[in-house]
Amino acid sequence: MALIAAGDHKKASQLYSWLHNFREKDGSYWTGYVYPKDELWPVEKPTWTAGAVLLAGDALANATPASQLFTRVNLLGNTDDIKSISYA
């Protein structure tokens, strides 16, 4: 998603295609891989890893309104109508 935000959609697509090497038959994804040791680490498959893969796929395909959630910056315009919140 960072590559998409930086404008490099081609490299983002290439990196995304590599993720599926870490997908298990049940659809889960391994958290990480240590290249020099050729091992999975940590040895876990949390749901948030699959969630990140889904968000990245959506960002690449621009399939839903959430596709730009982490790839586009929307700065606030006029903030005169925004009420401040006091955390006393």
pLDDT tens for the chain, residues 1 to 88: 999 999 999 999 999 999 989 899 999 999 988 999 999 999 999 999 999 999 999 999 999 999 999 998 777 677 676 666 666 5
pLDDT of residue 57: 97
Question: pLDDT value at position 73?
Answer: 77
Contact 40, 32 (CB under 8 A): yes
Question: pLDDT at position 81, please?
Answer: 67
Beta carbons within 8 Å of 66's beta carbon, 6+ residues apart: 55, 58
